[in-house]
Amino acid sequence: MNLPPVGLGTMGIEDPDVIATALECGYRHLDTAQIYGNEAVVGAGLERSDVPREAITVATKVWADNLESERVRQSTHDSARKLGLETIDLLYVHRPIESYEPEATLPAFDTLRDEGHIKGVGLSNFTLQELETARAVLESPIGAHQIEYHPLFATPELLEHARKHVYPVVAYSPLAAGRARELEVLVDIANRHGTTPEAVSLAWVLQHDTIVAIPKASTRAHLEANLEAATLELTPDEVARIDGIEREEELFPE
């Protein structure tokens, strides 16, 4: 699936005008989830925007208690209704836990795609082994794998899997949930470039050729800054310094 470098993570966004503003700023990838409780907000924002529907990739995720086959189907129709969409562009398994059973859950996603209710099947928060199991069961290609990825938590082996099997990785929390501004290495590099540590964090994530990112932002200034970060070029030495940060903080463990 072809995704722009920077999309909008919408967790916690409760104002449809934020969605409409993001689209006005140039965002073309919106990411929500059933568990966020704001699919209707995203739908209302889409309705308020003049951007053509076909220009926007809208993604949502089926939560862990809806992963039994029939609940996948019903909850996806509920999500589409809340989003105001006939077709969801990218539908994820949010986490492979609770009611997730590969042999039952994944064929339900395949069927939704075959019937035209969704365009792509995504996976989120999968391990390498879980990815391999999914590949063996799915008839659909993996549309994307969404994972936490930032300077404090990186999993290069998952990027390598994506490169090998040719699908994008979607990085959530690329600004480390605000921790980026506290990292001395990022602050120093930001000062050299006349930018912010958050921009450096996002630029570092995006320098991996497999990754796109979905930072959350609620104001026009932050929305625009995140888009601009995609143009920030870090030197090999700067990338190496960030690579050298001790990575031990997963912000959203299972």
* Residues assigned a catalytic role: 36
- How much is the CA Rg of the chain, to the nearest whole Å? 18
User: 8 Cβ partners below 8 Å, 6+ apart?
Assistant: 19, 22, 27, 29, 30, 31, 214, 215, 216, 217, 223
Half-sphere exposure of 164 (CA within 13 A, CB side): 10
Beta bridge pairs of residue 172: 148
Q: In angstroms, how far is the first alpha carbon of the chain from the final one? A: 26
Question: Among 122, 164, 118, 129, which residue's Cα sits nearest to residue 147?
Answer: 122
- Element holding 194 (H helix, E strand): none
Maximum CA pair distance of the chain? 54
223 near 8, Cβ under 8 Å? yes
What does 20-49 look like in DSSP terms, one character per residue? HHHHHHT--EEE--GGGT-HHHHHHHHHH-
